[in-house]
């Protein structure tokens, strides 16, 4: 009988243990369940099937569809963009010339002059498309600057006209010029001139290079000296409302001559002499033709899902984000020195952050199943982060909900390699409430927290911090697989990712429930990413430091705050490839991003790393300089104010 009871008791214990084990496994918020989901999602995101999630691969679309399906399955609202979760955008490199681009300039009483595209003229990527049959006006530099008592459009009615506009600005090389001396002012930018023409109701723009920008020996080879602007230029202006082209001076001169007007050189000289416009209608002249600029290729997508809030704070928003793109088959962002094209799976960068984003969204949806959060929570998987934070920049320019009602942004980028319990959290100084919150939750989840107060940095939170939004960026540190093919899912610390997901969820919960929104603080200075030099160069950190521009602290020399590894790598393209941007430095403040290629500083071309150092020596700290930068195939004009050390 006793044996019976022993057997019975043993069976009961077995049943209880089995029940407890099954209950734990069935609990979707158990650590075991969380790790299982993170493993599955991480492996898929870092699989060869997704081709490294490069923006030019089919894999990036598969990743976007996977994220959309996961967000929908979780139960989030994924229909905020025309019934889809996709915030669609294009980068400038997606623009190209259409099939028909023609331009005919007919002087007063003269014969039509048919120009050849890409030889006599070129449309620009900031151009609209359409047919032209317009009268023509000359409007000097196309500048309206009331505070400087200068206006090329004063007394001019150019509505419905094609306007001839000189590049740059009057007295370009004069240190006494009211247009910021010899430095390029905002009025010199093409985008500024386009918007000004649109405001004056011009119907098209014919840009022409100013005489002061031509080389001294221009007469020897006028066509080569008067080079056309590349098609791809800064393209985020005006919704491309009107056709915009760049013409050679030789194509424009006959219009002035036939109208009995001075030539371009004489007009520029007159404007420069007394800073009085020489604008005029070229009565009888016309421009006809057709300009066609099209979007090429596929669109890029941020994937957005919403957990609505409830109550008096429901219109305030918390953003939790992670970028899901990576480097595809390598390219300029790769730190692999092999010339072979290999899939860069990016398990940590940023498959890990994307997987934790999905997991945090699931946990929060479960926790708020009975009662919605006080504040709305928006989950965003950003695209094109590796191309210069393009996806997050596009979102903050066109947000789903107003930025002034966005109380904080939490960013997950590279959270998959927790070592020695070290979790770095950036942005702890961007809100008064963040320091104690991170201290408390870091202790609860057994992390050794490293706090970095700055809100800038080479990830998507910087786009929000620039708009005055408090940010937190969770990060487990760089490693030698960073931006290399070896960054695979078998190296991830999934247990660490699970704890990070739980800490992030609790952080979101507390911020969503707080009576007051986080108190924004502006943090001076910035923080570089831990271990960046070693990760970039695989142990060649000293070489990176040696190539940082410029040099020694305390010399008073001007500096830009960028670094490159180009000095020790074979990079065939001319220009200075930016591998690091000093957080909150002059370059970061101006909007320079990792991966940018600096082609010019002012009028000086930058062909090598030494060029940039040499050109900087011509300036002093506090100087404003215009940089020509190529980003993801787009040529940008960016103004920066040099710092001093």
In tens, the pLDDT along 595-607 reads: 788 988 988 888 7
Q: Which pLDDT value is given to residue 528?
A: 54
pLDDT > 50? residue 5:
no
Establish if 397 belongs to a structural domain: yes
* Residue 597: both structure tokens together: 């290629």
Q: Which pLDDT value is given to residue 546?
A: 30
Mean pLDDT, rounded, for 537-565: 50
* Residue 191: both structure tokens together: 């985008």
Residue-number span of the structural domain to which 47 is assigned: 34-90+299-331+349-513
Q: Are residues 205 and 260 in the same domain?
A: yes
Establish if 44 belongs to a structural domain: yes
pLDDT > 90? residue 609:
no
Establish if 174 belongs to a structural domain: yes
The answer to which of 115-119, 186-190, 566-570 has the lowest mean pLDDT is 566-570
Which residues, in sequence order, are bridge partners of residue 604?
A: 601
Query: What CA–CA distance (Å, rounded) separates 35 from 27?
Result: 12
pLDDT > 90? residue 417:
yes
Q: Are residues 353 and 435 in the same domain?
A: yes
Mean pLDDT, rounded, for 94-105: 88
The answer to which of 47-51, 308-312, 421-425, 609-613 has the lowest mean pLDDT is 609-613
Q: Are residues 413 and 368 in the same domain?
A: yes
Q: Which pLDDT value is given to residue 166?
A: 96
Query: Residue 492 contacts by C-beta under 8 Å, 6 or more apart in sequence?
Result: 42, 347, 348, 351, 352, 416, 417
Query: What CA–CA distance (Å, rounded) separates 142 from 162?
Result: 12
Q: What is the pLDDT of residues 516-526, one digit of tens each?
A: 999 999 886 55
Q: Are residues 120 and 215 in the same domain?
A: yes
Among 192-206, 221-235, 346-360, 549-563, top mean pLDDT goes to 346-360
pLDDT > 80? residue 389:
yes
Query: What CA–CA distance (Å, rounded) separates 26 from 30?
Result: 8
Q: Are residues 368 and 480 in the same domain?
A: yes
Q: Which pLDDT value is given to residue 172?
A: 84
Q: Output 634 or 121, whichever has higher pLDDT.
A: 121
Q: Are residues 321 and 412 in the same domain?
A: yes
Q: What is the pLDDT of residues 343-361, one digit of tens each?
A: 999 999 999 999 999 999 9
Q: CA of 268: how far to CAs of 51, 145, 260, 263, 484, in Å?
A: 53, 17, 16, 9, 52
Domain-ending residue, one of 482, 513, 544: 513
Q: What is the pLDDT of residues 122-154, one digit of tens each?
A: 999 888 899 999 999 999 999 999 889 999 999
Query: What CA–CA distance (Å, rounded) separates 375 from 366?
Result: 16
* Residue 531: both structure tokens together: 């271990």
Q: Are residues 178 and 68 in the same domain?
A: no
Domain-ending residue, one of 295, 314, 341: 295
Q: Which pLDDT value is given to residue 3?
A: 42
Record the pTM.
0.58
Establish if 21 belongs to a structural domain: no
Query: What angle, 0 to 180 degrees and rounded to 10, lies between the N-to-C axes of helices 434-444 and 494-513?
Result: 140
pLDDT > 70? residue 19:
no
Q: Are residues 285 and 320 in the same domain?
A: no
Give the confidence band of 492 by pLDDT, cuts at 50, 70, 90. very high
Judged by phi (left if over 0) then psi (alpha if -120 to 50, else beta), residue 418 lies in beta
DSSP secondary structure string for all residues of 504-541: HHHHHHHHHH-SS---B-PPSS--PPTTHHHHHHTS-H
Establish if 134 belongs to a structural domain: yes
Q: Are residues 267 and 369 in the same domain?
A: no
Q: Are residues 105 and 177 in the same domain?
A: yes
Q: Are residues 392 and 487 in the same domain?
A: yes
Mean pLDDT, rounded, for 498-512: 98
Give the confidence band of 21 by pLDDT, cuts at 50, 70, 90. very low
Mean pLDDT, rounded, for 245-270: 95
Write the CATH number for 103.
3.50.30.30
Q: Which pLDDT value is given to residue 161?
A: 97
pLDDT > 80? residue 167:
yes
Give the confidence band of 515 by pLDDT, cuts at 50, 70, 90. very high
Domain-ending residue, one of 486, 513, 540: 513
Instruction: Kindly state the percentage of the chain with pLDDT values over 90.
Output: 58
Write the CATH number for 633.
2.30.42.10
Q: Which pLDDT value is given to residue 385?
A: 92
The number of folded domains in the chain is 3
Establish if 523 belongs to a structural domain: no
Q: Are residues 373 and 422 in the same domain?
A: yes
pLDDT > 50? residue 480:
yes
Mean pLDDT, rounded, for 495-507: 98
Write the CATH number for 473.
3.40.630.10
pLDDT > 50? residue 552:
no
Q: Output 594 or 328, whichever has higher pLDDT.
A: 328
Task: Answer yes or no: are the C-beta atoms of 564 and 613 closer than 8 Å.
Answer: no
pLDDT > 60? residue 236:
no
pLDDT > 50? residue 399:
yes
Mean pLDDT of the chain: 85
Give the confidence band of 529 by pLDDT, cuts at 50, 70, 90. low
Query: What CA–CA distance (Å, rounded) separates 481 from 378?
Result: 31
Establish if 23 belongs to a structural domain: no
Give the confidence band of 632 by pLDDT, cuts at 50, 70, 90. low
Q: What is the pLDDT of residues 357-376, one digit of tens each?
A: 999 999 999 999 999 999 99
Which residues, in sequence order, are bridge partners of residue 424?
A: 450, 475
Establish if 62 belongs to a structural domain: yes
């Amino acid at each position: 009988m006793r044996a019976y009871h022993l057997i019975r008791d043993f069976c009961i214990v077995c049943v209880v243990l089995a029940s407890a084990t099954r209950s734990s496994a069935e609990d979707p918020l158990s650590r075991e369940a969380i790790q299982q989901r993170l493993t599955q999602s991480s492996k898929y995101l870092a699989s060869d099937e997704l081709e490294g999630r490069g923006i030019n691969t089919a894999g990036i679309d598969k990743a976007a569809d996977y994220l959309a399906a996961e967000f929908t399955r979780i139960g989030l609202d994924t229909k905020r963009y025309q019934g889809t979760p996709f915030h669609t955008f294009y980068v400038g490199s997606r623009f190209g010339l259409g099939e028909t681009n023609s331009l005919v300039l007919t002087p007063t009483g003269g014969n039509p002059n048919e120009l050849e595209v890409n030889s006599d003229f070129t449309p620009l990527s900031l151009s609209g498309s359409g047919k032209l049959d317009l009268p023509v006006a000359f409007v000097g530099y196309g500048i309206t600057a009331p505070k400087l008592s200068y206006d090329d459009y004063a007394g001019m009615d150019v509505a419905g006209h094609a306007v001839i506009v000189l590049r740059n600005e009057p007295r370009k090389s004069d240190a006494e010029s009211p247009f910021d001396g010899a430095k390029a002012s905002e009025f010199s930018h093409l985008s500024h001139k386009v918007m000004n023409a649109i405001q004056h109701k011009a119907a098209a723009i014919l840009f022409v290079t100013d005489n002061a920008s031509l080389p001294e020996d221009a007469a020897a080879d006028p066509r080569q000296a008067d080079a056309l602007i590349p098609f791809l230029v800064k393209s985020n202006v005006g919704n491309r409302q009107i056709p915009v082209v760049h013409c050679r001076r030789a194509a424009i001169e006959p219009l002035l001559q036939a109208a009995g007007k001075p030539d371009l050189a004489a007009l520029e000289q007159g404007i420069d002499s007394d800073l009085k416009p020489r604008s005029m209608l070229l009565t009888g002249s016309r421009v006809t033709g057709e300009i066609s600029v099209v979007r090429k290729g596929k669109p890029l997508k941020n994937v957005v899902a919403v957990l609505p809030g409830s109550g008096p704070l429901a219109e305030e928003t918390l953003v939790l984000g992670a970028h899901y793109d990576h480097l595809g088959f390598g390219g300029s962002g790769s730190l692999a020195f092999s010339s072979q094209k290999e899939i860069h799976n990016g398990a940590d960068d940023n498959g890990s952050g994307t997987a934790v984003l999905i997991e945090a969204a699931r946990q929060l949806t479960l926790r708020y199943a009975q009662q919605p959060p006080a504040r709305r929570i928006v989950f965003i998987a950003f695209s094109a982060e590796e191309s210069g934070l393009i996806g997050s920049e596009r979102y903050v320019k066109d947000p789903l909900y107003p930025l002034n009602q966005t109380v904080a942004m939490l960013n997950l980028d590279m959270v998959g390699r927790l070592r020695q319990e070290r979790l770095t959290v950036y942005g702890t100084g961007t809100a008064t409430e963040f320091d104690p919150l991170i201290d408390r939750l870091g202790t609860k989840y057994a992390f050794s927290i490293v706090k970095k107060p700055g809100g800038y940095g080479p990830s998507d939170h910087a786009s929000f911090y620039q708009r005055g939004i408090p940010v937190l960026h969770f990060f487990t540190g760089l490693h030698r697989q960073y931006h290399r093919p070896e960054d695979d899912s078998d190296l991830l610390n999934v247990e660490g990712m699970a704890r990070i997901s739980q800490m992030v969820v609790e952080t979101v919960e507390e911020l969503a429930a707080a009576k007051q929104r986080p108190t924004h603080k502006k943090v001076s200075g910035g923080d570089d990413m831990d271990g960046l030099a070693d990760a970039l160069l695989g142990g060649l950190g000293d070489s990176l430091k040696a190539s940082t521009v410029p040099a020694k602290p305390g010399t008073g020399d001007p500096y830009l705050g960028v670094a490159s590894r180009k000095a020790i790598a074979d990079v065939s393209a001319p220009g200075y490839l930016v591998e690091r941007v000093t957080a909150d430095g002059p370059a970061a403040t101006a909007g320079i991003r990792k991966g940018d290629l600096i082609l010019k500083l002012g009028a000086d071309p930058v062909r090598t790393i030494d060029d940039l150092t040499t050109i900087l020596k011509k300036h002093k700290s506090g100087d404003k300089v215009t940089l020509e930068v190529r980003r993801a195939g787009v040529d940008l004009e960016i103004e920066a104010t040099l710092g001093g050390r």
